[in-house]
């Protein structure tokens, strides 16, 4: 079915929908991972974004229920060069198109995705509309311009969990919101590190990695207040990834600031940006973001390079941080941007990239053990 | 960690001659490494016996030893050069093996030389099956279970441990017979029993079968700070059971989810660490069970490889160059990524296109061998193609193969629909062969379900569906006929259909008409960049491929530019020599300030290195694809005379389309190739060619042959490269030839030439600017006329030709060059018989011998020829006189007979060699000896020589036998030869022919009683006995000669070896003597 993609700056791409009729709006970004489309689709950090895969053939291995990173698809639309309708893989339980259709997510193909990628690289991530009904370029471009900007919006509210949950049998085990009042909620206190994970859009694999590192994770809504968290008396706090701009999330920054002195803290992606804000720094929107599985990050302590999975459009401005209080632990090898920071005195550290991978390389998985160690030290 | 400064001089070991499984990819990697290390200020010493390589150019390394790549030579060079370090990981398996053998002599400790890249321990750990198994088990990975058994009880025990299905492989057999797959105890009992019988040592190996599992390769790099990155993943379209070199492969992997891919990535990283490759690249091969994802490690190569060359071209990441830098101390995060110019080499390339590699086989050259693919590689070359879809890349790859196909069928070359079906078709699908991809197409057309094709081929359904989509579209295109609507037209191009295919499917239009219609609709290709990063960063290196999309990224410069058309896939008759010439053309253009644009489809080559030329278009070499580039770039000229037959075949078509061909004109090329025009020219110049004629029927052939006089050389006019060419001695032979080989008809005549029996044959390469002509080199063939010049050993300068003949040939060459207005290179083959000089063939273009001659005389002929094409005169270039070296250069051909069962290893008019080596020495015998060692013939200094020659060769063989006798060899011979030798007072011992009962000569070979074999005879009568001896020579790696001339040369070589130890000397020192 014919479709049109219109960017706010006037550029349009005619294309084809492989998921039937529909319309979608959002910010267009690109991801350079060659595998892992299902993980990307279900990563809450993509909320409100239409993701272009730079690898041209997508859908090859179908979809598999085990490969989801949350309970639903979060991308606003999926843009590929050539959709593969005949998947082949022993784990596959269906086609990508059916998977998208079931969630009413638009998928388009047959456009020059490399041209689109180059355009975003040069002009920055931008708002766009896709439609199978409104094929008039002028009209669709105009509508793209009316989409609310991502900057300044609180997107976390749309993706954070409503109810707290533990992780059991490789899936969420929801508990009543009221039970957070109970300091004895922990099931493995003493045997495992009890971790409260503030959910700004957490990926399941983060929880798995924490559990594997010997943690018992309690995922709580983003708006959970400081007193409740303190009362739970966890061994550590985890600040999750999530979508959009960290700056409007003042309520979370406040919470973090009050937790800083009391608990070991580990943050990933948006979690790091929020930690940066809590430590007095500033964040900024970067031109077209890092989204892919091949970003080289240098660990300053060891000198070794990790190939990392990344997905962010905002970043902590290195120059706004108080260097006496926190120091740089990781930098991006390609452009010297901030990838990790640490504050020894308050036992908090965070990385901008995704050590939980999924999709992507496992090089940085050691960070979860590092968090466990920090918690152990704090107990001793 | 920056560059090491405790080492200064590095010795690099090259791969030697081009053989099957070791082609010009090692010139590509070696050249990159030499350049990189020189750039870093190291003194680079190189050993490589292959003169057709860029790496052996005197400019590539500081001291280039064109000497045999053997442990002995390596030690000699080390003694002279005393390098600080040896880099053994860039010259393929040859370099690794040579290093391991040299290490056993203790030479590295003796001179305190460090092995950089990989240590002996690491190499052993990867190469030794048991050490490798232990290493893999240690990190929780496994390799196929296996075990040896010498009796049926052991077979049963081992089988129980392994589990079915089991592959049975008899150890050490003649001809690999007796193996197979057993699915149960009963089948195993039969197979193992037969296998034990077939084995010469009564032993079989049983191995867990992973046949039909999916096969993947990962290219890994590691630096000494232990940073590890994966450069590329490659998926084999053909499942386990076919050598990866014989598999169609695709990059990146297509059918792995991220979870599965990351598992292979983690495993690869663990493997390179456990094996202990300190720095550089490695290739890891995995088998993955399609049913459940189980992973088995197939093998690990602790060096750059064919796959790493492919991965480099597929991603733009120069693995060999980076490996060289890592070996001297840099870490990955210190080396910039050349392609982007703004990022670092420590990353994992992301690609936004699909790459398909297709092997090129030459089974047509070896009709005695079955066209069946197994775990032993048989292809001689490959093409790579890039597209935005698999379908596009597959079709581009197939039309790049130079097998006369325009894509995935749809070109009128397929058998009639329905003619291939049933069990025949099923057999072709289930038994891997060079044409299987087309049989898959027939199966789809025939309506065979994809699931069934999958069951028969074990090819992943994903690939089969892609093929089905092409077939489905083909049907639509056929229905649309001549009036293709725009959207369908566009879709066809996106699916990779060529104009040739669309013309065929239109049912009436020509490809030129299709082209017109297409352009009228505005459907033209765009060019996209290979940039290592999927457009995430700006890229500076102009490395392009075509596709049908909206945005073109080709940056067309506004300066003088010249397009060089490369040679396409390597095959027998067209190899690295032509790539060498193309690369030199590129160097010359750069020196002259002209933009060089390379077009080629061969991923193994130096020409397709992104920094060889100013621009690289990785494209098929077809009229359509080349014209698109010409239209985009609008070059000053196009060079077609360097890339061998492939671009030459395009010359006329391109010229007709208005493309400016520079250098010798296509008309002149035609004058040399067209029989009548050629004869007319020679007549005009008062030169002689062997008497000849043309026959359109058998009757005519008989009378032509009678007129000319036997022996004659006969060949069909419509095949190139000496195929089906035969020397015919009498009418009976002629009749047989017509019965078996060809049928003459009005449109397919047979050409008949007088065969110059026992004539001297010479190759002459010359360079001309149209006015002046300078002889580059004259090469006297060691073998007599009648053996393809590509297979004949030759010597520069000539060693037995009279001065007046040399002058005659020189004059003739000059006259011909002037007459044809040659601007560039020209090759002439001369024959001398009974004091008469004959012109056998003239090729006004770069010949196979140009690199050899250039190395011999120290003058880069191809480079100079390019400058001539740009308008320079030879005088301006300072080329004024012929250089005749004061030393002998011997070129020897390297044959692939050990790869092809049932092939008689005799030389003939059809070329069969895959590569060449060069031996240089003051002494002719020593130069021959070096060429023999370089070609893998370990000549003995004493022992027993077995001599068996057909009657017509006896006279010529006599002095050779005498010399061996004088040198103290024992001569062993069969009855006839013994009698003949006795008559001439040469003692010999008698051995039985194979047909005369045991113990016979082959038994003597097996028992190690024979050190050298001289056995001639090409005619059918000698087949049986001679054939068995020759095959035994190959099997037991005994040096042999199949011509008396070859035998004479070998006797001279051994004489030289006995007189004096062979010495080594760099080519730069030889050149100083000129």
Mean pLDDT calculated for residue range A192-220:
98
Catalytic: which of A74, A193, A330, A354?
A354
- Structural domain includes residue B94: yes
* pLDDT over threshold 90, residue B364: no
Which residues span the domain enclosing B455?
358-526
Distance from CA of B1066 to the nearest CA of A (A): 42
Question: Would you list which residues of A are annotated within the binding site for L-glutamine?
Answer: 45, 242, 244, 270, 273, 311, 313-314
Strand, coil or helix: what is A183? helix
B174 pLDDT more than 80: no
Q: Choose the weakest-confidence range: A260-264, A265-269, B68-72, B859-863.
A: A260-264
Candidates A13, A61, A118; nearest CB to B255: A61
Cis peptide before B567 (omega within 30 of 0): no
CATH number of the domain within which B624 lies: 3.40.50.20
Q: Looking at residues B54-74, what average pLDDT do you find?
A: 97
Q: Hey, which residues does A237 pair with through a beta bridge?
A: A196, A265
pTM of the model: 0.96
Place of tokens 């005389």: B857
- For the cut 70, the answer to whether the pLDDT of residue B462 exceeds it is yes
d(CA B751, nearest CA chain A) in Å: 52
A287 touches chain B (CB under 8 A): no
CB B589 within 8 A of CB B862: no
Is residue B66 pLDDT above 80, yes or no?
Answer: yes
Residue B993 banded pLDDT, cuts 50, 70, 90: confident
Residues within 8 A of B (CB atoms), A 136-175 only: none
Specify if B739 maps to a domain. yes
CA distance A22 to A131: 6
B748 with B764, same domain? no
pLDDT recorded at residue B721: 57
pLDDT digits (tens, 9 = 90+) for B303-327: 999 999 999 999 999 999 999 999 9
- In the DSSP assignment, the letter for residue B558 is S
Question: For residue B722, what pLDDT band results from cuts at 50, 70 and 90?
Answer: low
B839-889 pLDDT, tens per residue?
999 999 999 999 999 999 999 999 999 999 999 999 999 999 999 999 999
Write out chain B residues lying below 8 Å of A84, CB-based: 462
Given pLDDT bands bounded at 50, 70 and 90, which one contains residue B175?
very low
Name chain A contacts of B534, Cβ cutoff 8 Å.
32, 54-55, 114, 117, 292
Please indicate, yes or no, if residue B930 is contained in any of the structural domains.
Answer: no
pLDDT, residue A255, reads: 97
Quote the percentage of chain A above a pLDDT of 90.
Answer: 92
Nearest to B462 among A55, A86, A362 (CB): A86
Query: Are the Cβ atoms of A334 and B344 closer than 8 angstroms?
Result: yes
Are both B701 and B628 inside the same structural domain? no
> For residue B139, how many C-alpha atoms fall within 13 Å in the half-sphere facing its CB?
19
pLDDT-based confidence at residue B953 (cuts at 50, 70, 90): confident
CATH fold group of domain A2-145: Glucose Oxidase; domain 1 (3.50.30)
- Check whether residue B875 and residue B1009 sit in a common domain: no
| B233 labeled binding residue | no
Q: Is B176 annotated as a binding residue?
A: yes
CA distance B41 to A217: 56
Chain A interface mutation, best of B226, B227, B257, highest count of A Cβ atoms under 10 Å: B257
- Judge whether B819 lies within some domain: yes
A86 vs B contacts (CB less than 8 Å): 461-462, 465
B595 occurs within a structural domain: yes
Q: What is the pLDDT of residue B951?
A: 85
- For residue A209, indicate whether it is catalytic: no
Q: What pLDDT is recorded for position B195?
A: 84
Under an 8 A CB cutoff, do A35 and B390 touch?
no
Q: Band of the pLDDT at B544, cuts 50, 70, 90?
A: very high
Count the domains in chain B: 7
**pLDDT, tens digit (0-9, with 9 covering 90-100), for B219-271:** 999 999 999 999 999 999 999 989 999 999 999 999 999 999 999 999 999 99
CA dihedral B109, B113, B119, B120 (to 10 degrees): -40
Nearest to A88 among B255, B528, B550 (CB): B255
Q: Lowest-pLDDT range, A341-345, B186-190, B810-814, B976-980?
A: A341-345
User: Residue A88's closest chain B neighbor by CA?
Assistant: B462
Domain shared by B400 and B512, yes or no:
yes
The annotation status of B210 as a binding-site residue, yes or no, is yes
Task: Please answer whether residues B930 and B70 qualify as being in contact, where contact means their C-beta atoms are separated by less than 8 angstroms.
Answer: no
How close is the nearest chain A Cα to the Cα of B535, in Å? 6
Q: What is the pLDDT of residue B1021?
A: 47
Q: Are residues B782 and B818 in the same domain?
A: yes
User: Is pLDDT above 90 for B540?
Assistant: no
The 8-class DSSP code of residue B996 comes to: G
B365 and B514 together in one domain:
yes
Catalytic option among A269, A290, A312, A339? A269
Nearest CA in chain A to B529: A114
What is the model's pLDDT at position B1009? 94
Residue spans of the domains in chain A: they are: 2-145, 156-379
Residue from A296, A298, A309, A359 to probe the interface with B (highest B Cβ count within 10 Å)? A296
Pick from B168, B191, B208: which residue ends a domain? Answer: B208
Provide the phi-psi class of B542: left if phi over 0, else alpha when psi is between -120 and 50, else beta: beta
CATH class of A156-379: alpha beta
Quote the pLDDT of residue B743.
Answer: 66
User: Cβ contact (<8 Å) for B258 and A307?
Assistant: no
**Whole-number Cα distances in Å, B227 to A250, A355, B33, B37, B117:** 39, 17, 20, 21, 14
Calculate the average pLDDT of chain B.
93
CATH classification of the domain holding B861: 3.30.470.20
> B754 labelled as ligand-binding?
yes
Q: Does the annotation count A312 as an active-site position?
A: no
Q: Are residues B705 and B838 in the same domain?
A: no
- For the cut 90, the answer to whether the pLDDT of residue A345 exceeds it is no
Q: Regarding predicted confidence, which is higher, A155 or B168?
A: A155
The residue of chain B nearest to residue A289, with distances taken between CA atoms, is B536
CB-based contact B362:B368 (threshold 8 Å)? no
Nearest to B191, CA basis, from B175, B143, B199, B430 = B199
Question: Which pLDDT score is estimated for B904?
Answer: 86
Tell whether B963 is covered by a domain. Answer: yes
**ipTM, 2 dp:** 0.98
Please determine, for residue B726, whether its predicted confidence score (pLDDT) is greater than 60. Answer: yes
In B, which residues are within 8 Å of A209 by CB distance?
A: none
* Domain annotation covers residue B1065: no
Nearest Cα residue in chain A from B255: A61
Same domain, B748 and B768: no
Q: Does the annotation count A356 as an active-site position?
A: yes
Q: What is the rounded CA–CA span in Å between residue A264 and residue A238? A: 9
How many Å lie between the alpha carbon of A353 and the closest alpha carbon of chain B? 15
* C-alpha distance from B215 to closest chain A C-alpha (Å): 14
Type and span of the H or E element at A290: strand A283-299
CB contact at 8 A, B287 and B298 = yes
| b/e map B655-665, b = 16+ CB within 10 Å | beeebebbbbb
CA-CA distances (angstroms) from residue B488 to A110, A362, B154, B716? 13, 44, 63, 42
Asked, for residue B340, whether it belongs to a domain, the answer is: no
In the three-class reduction of DSSP (H, G, I as helix; E, B as strand; rest coil), residue B222 is classed as strand
Question: Same domain, yes or no, for B381 and B476?
Answer: yes
Q: Quick one: B825 and B869 in the same domain? A: yes
What is the token pair recorded at B333? 């995060």
The tokens of B991 are what?
Answer: 């051995």
Question: Cβ A54–B259 below 8 Å, yes or no?
Answer: no
Cα dihedral sign, B22-B25-B26-B27: positive
B973 vs B959: CA distance, rounded Å? 15
In chain B, residues with a C-beta closer than 8 Å to the C-beta of A38 are: 257
Where is B214: in which H helix or E strand?
Answer: strand B214-222
Q: Which residue has the tokens 């003995």?
A: B940
Token look-up 């660490």 returns: B273
Is the domain of B380 the same as that of B507? yes
- Contact by Cβ (8 Å): B233, B218: yes
pLDDT grade for B1035, boundaries at 50, 70 and 90: confident
Say if residue B635 is in the same domain as residue B724. no
Residues in CB range of A98: below 8 A, 6 or more apart = none
H helical segments located in B151-245: 152-162, 185-198
* A64 close contact with B: CB closer than 8 A: yes
């Amino acid at each position: 079915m014919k479709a049109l993609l219109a960017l706010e700056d006037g550029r349009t791409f005619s294309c084809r929908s492989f998921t039937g009729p529909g319309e979608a709006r959002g910010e267009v970004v690109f991801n350079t991972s060659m595998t892992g489309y299902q993980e990307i689709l279900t990563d809450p950090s993509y909320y409100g974004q239409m993701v272009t895969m730079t690898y041209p053939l997508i859908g090859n291995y179908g979809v598999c229920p085990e490969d989801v990173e949350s309970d639903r698809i979060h991308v606003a639309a999926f843009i590929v060069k050539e959709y593969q309708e005949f998947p082949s893989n022993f784990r596959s339980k269906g086609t990508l198109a059916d998977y998208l259709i079931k969630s009413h997510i638009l998928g388009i193909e047959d456009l020059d995705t490399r041209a689109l990628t180059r355009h975003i690289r040069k002009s920055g991530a931008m708002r766009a509309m896709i439609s199978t009904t409104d094929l008039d370029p002028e009209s669709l471009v105009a509508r793209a311009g009316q989409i609310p900007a991502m900057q300044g919006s609180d997107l976390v509210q749309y993706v954070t969990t409503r109810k707290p949950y533990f992780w059991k049998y490789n899936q969420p085990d929801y508990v009543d919101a009221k039970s957070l009042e109970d300091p004895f909620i922990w099931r493995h206190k003493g045997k495992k590190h009890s971790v409260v994970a503030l959910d700004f859009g957490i990926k399941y694999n983060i929880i798995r990695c924490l559990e594997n590192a010997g943690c018992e994770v309690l995922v709580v809504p983003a708006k959970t207040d400081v007193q409740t968290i303190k009362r739970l008396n966890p061994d550590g706090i985890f600040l999750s990834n999530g979508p959009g701009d960290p700056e409007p999330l003042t309520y979370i920054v406040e919470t973090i600031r009050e937790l800083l002195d009391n608990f070991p803290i580990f943050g990933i992606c948006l979690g790091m940006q929020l930690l940066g804000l809590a430590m007095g720094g500033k964040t900024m929107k970067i031109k077209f973001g890092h989204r892919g599985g091949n970003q080289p990050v240098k660990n300053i302590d060891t000198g070794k390079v990790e190939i990392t999975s990344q997905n962010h459009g905002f970043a902590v401005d290195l120059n706004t941080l108080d260097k006496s209080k926190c120091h740089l632990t990781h930098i991006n090898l390609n452009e010297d941007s901030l990838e990790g920071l640490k504050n020894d005195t308050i036992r908090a550290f965070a990385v901008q990239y995704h050590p939980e991978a999924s999709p992507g390389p496992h090089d940085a998985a050691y960070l979860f053990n590092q968090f466990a160690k920090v918690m152990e030290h704090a107990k001793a | 960690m920056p560059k090491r400064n405790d080492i200064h001089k590095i010795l690099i070991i090259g791969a030697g001659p081009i053989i099957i499984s070791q082609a010009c990819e090692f010139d590509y990697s070696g050249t990159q490494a030499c350049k990189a290390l020189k750039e870093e200020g190291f003194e680079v010493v190189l050993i490589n016996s292959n003169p057709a390589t860029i790496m052996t150019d005197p400019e590539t390394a500081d001291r280039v030893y064109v000497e045999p790549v053997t442990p002995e030579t390596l030690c000699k060079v080390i003694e002279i050069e005393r390098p600080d370090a040896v880099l053994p990981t860039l010259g393929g398996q040859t370099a690794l093996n040579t290093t391991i053998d040299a290490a056993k002599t203790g030479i590295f400790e003796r001179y305190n030389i460090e092995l950089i890249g990989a240590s002996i321990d690491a190499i052993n750990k990867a190469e030794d099956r048991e050490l490798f198994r232990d290493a893999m088990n240690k990190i929780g990975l496994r390799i196929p279970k296996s075990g040896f058994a010498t009796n049926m009880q052991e077979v049963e025990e081992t089988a129980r441990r392994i589990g079915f299905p089991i592959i049975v492989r008899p150890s050490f057999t003649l001809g690999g017979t007796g193996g197979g797959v057993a699915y149960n105890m009963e089948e195993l009992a039969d197979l193992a029993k037969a296998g034990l019988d077939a084995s010469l040592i009564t032993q079989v190996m049983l191995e867990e079968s992973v046949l039909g599992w999916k096969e993947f390769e990962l290219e890994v790099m590691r630096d000494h700070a232990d940073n590890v990155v994966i450069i590329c993943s490659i998926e084999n379209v053909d499942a386990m059971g076919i050598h990866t070199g014989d598999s169609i492969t695709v990059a990146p992997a297509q059918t792995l989810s991220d979870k599965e891919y990351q598992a292979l990535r983690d495993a690869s990283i663990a493997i390179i660490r456990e094996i202990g490759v300190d720095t550089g690249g490695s290739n890891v091969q995995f088998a993955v069970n399609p049913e459940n994802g189980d992973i088995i490690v197939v093998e690990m190569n602790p060096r750059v490889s064919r796959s790493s060359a492919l991965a480099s071209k597929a991603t733009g990441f120069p693995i060999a160059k980076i490996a060289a830098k890592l070996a001297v101390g840099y870490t990955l995060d210190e080396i910039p990524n050349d392609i982007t110019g703004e990022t670092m080499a420590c990353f994992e390339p992301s690609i936004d296109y699909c790459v398909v590699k297709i092997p090129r086989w030459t089974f047509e050259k070896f009709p005695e061998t079955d066209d069946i693919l197994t775990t032993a590689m048989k292809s001689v070359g490959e093409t790579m193609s890039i597209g935005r879809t698999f379908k596009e890349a597959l079709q581009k790859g197939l039309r790049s193969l130079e097998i006369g196909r325009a894509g995935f069928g749809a070109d009128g070359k397929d058998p009639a629909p329905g003619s291939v079906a049933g069990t025949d078709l099923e057999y072709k699908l289930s038994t891997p062969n060079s044409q299987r991809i087309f049989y898959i197409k027939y199966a789809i057309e025939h309506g065979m379900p994809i699931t069934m094709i999958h069951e028969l081929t074990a090819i992943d359904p994903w690939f089969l569906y892609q093929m089905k989509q092409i077939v489905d579209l083909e049907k639509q295109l056929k229905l649309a006929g001549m009036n293709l609507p725009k959207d369908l037209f566009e879709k066809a191009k996106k699916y990779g259909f060529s104009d040739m295919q669309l013309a065929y499917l239109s049912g009436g239009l020509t490809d030129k008409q299709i082209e017109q219609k297409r352009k009228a609709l505005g459907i033209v290709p765009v060019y996209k960049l290979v940039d290592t990063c999927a457009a995430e960063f700006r890229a500076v290196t102009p490395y392009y491929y075509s596709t049908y999309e909206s945005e073109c990224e080709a940056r067309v410069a506004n300066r003088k530019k010249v397009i060089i058309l490369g040679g396409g896939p390597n095959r027998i008759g067209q190899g690295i020599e032509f790539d060498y010439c193309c690369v030199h053309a590129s160097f010359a253009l750069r020196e002259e300030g002209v933009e060089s644009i390379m077009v080629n489809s061969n991923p193994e080559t130096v020409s397709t290195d992104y920094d060889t030329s100013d621009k690289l278009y990785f494209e098929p070499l077809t009229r359509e694809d080349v014209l698109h580039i010409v239209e985009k770039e609008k070059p000053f000229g196009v060079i077609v005379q360097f890339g061998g037959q492939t671009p030459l075949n395009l010359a006329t078509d391109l010229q007709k389309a208005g493309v400016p061909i520079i250098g010798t004109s296509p008309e002149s090329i035609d004058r040399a190739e067209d029989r009548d025009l050629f004869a007319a020219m020679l007549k005009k110049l008062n030169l002689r060619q062997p008497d000849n004629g043309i026959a359109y029927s058998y009757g005519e052939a008989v009378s032509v042959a009678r007129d000319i006089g036997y022996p004659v050389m006969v060949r069909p006019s419509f095949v190139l490269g000496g195929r089906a060419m035969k020397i015919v001695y009498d009418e009976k032979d002629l009749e047989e030839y017509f019965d078996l080989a060809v049928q003459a008809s009005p449109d397919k005549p047979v050409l008949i030439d007088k065969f110059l029996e026992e004539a001297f044959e010479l190759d002459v390469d010359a360079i001309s600017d149209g006015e002046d002509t300078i002889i580059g080199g004259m090469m006297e063939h060691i073998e007599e006329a009648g053996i393809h010049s590509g297979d004949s050993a030759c010597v520069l300068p000539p060693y037995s030709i009279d001065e007046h003949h040399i002058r005659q040939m020189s004059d003739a060459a000059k006259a011909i060059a002037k007459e044809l207005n040659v601007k560039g290179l020209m090759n002439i083959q001369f024959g001398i018989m009974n004091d008469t000089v004959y012109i056998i063939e003239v090729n006004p273009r770069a010949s196979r011998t140009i690199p050899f001659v250039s190395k011999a005389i120290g003058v880069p002929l191809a480079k100079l020829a390019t400058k001539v094409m740009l308008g320079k005169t030879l005088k301006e270039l300072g080329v004024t006189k012929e250089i005749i070296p004061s030393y002998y250069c011997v070129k020897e051909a390297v044959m692939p007979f050990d790869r092809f069962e049932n092939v008689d290893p005799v030389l003939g008019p059809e070329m069969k060699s895959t590569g060449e080596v060069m031996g240089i020495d003051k002494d002719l015998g020593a130069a021959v000896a070096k060429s023999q060692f370089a070609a893998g013939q370990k000549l003995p200094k004493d022992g027993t020589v077995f001599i068996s020659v057909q009657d017509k060769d006896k006279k010529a063989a006599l002095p050779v036998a005498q010399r061996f006798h004088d040198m103290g060899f024992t001569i062993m011979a069969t009855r006839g030869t013994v009698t003949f030798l006795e008559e001439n007072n040469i003692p010999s011992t008698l051995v039985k022919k194979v047909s005369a009962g045991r113990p016979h000569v082959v038994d003597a070979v097996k028992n190690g009683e024979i050190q050298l074999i001289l056995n001639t005879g090409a005619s059918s009568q000698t087949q049986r006995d001679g054939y068995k001896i020759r095959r035994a020579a190959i099997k037991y790696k005994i040096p042999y000669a199949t011509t008396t001339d070859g035998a004479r040369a070998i006797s001279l070589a051994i004489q030289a070896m006995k007189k004096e130890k062979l010495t080594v000397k760099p080519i730069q020192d030889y050149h100083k003597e000129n």
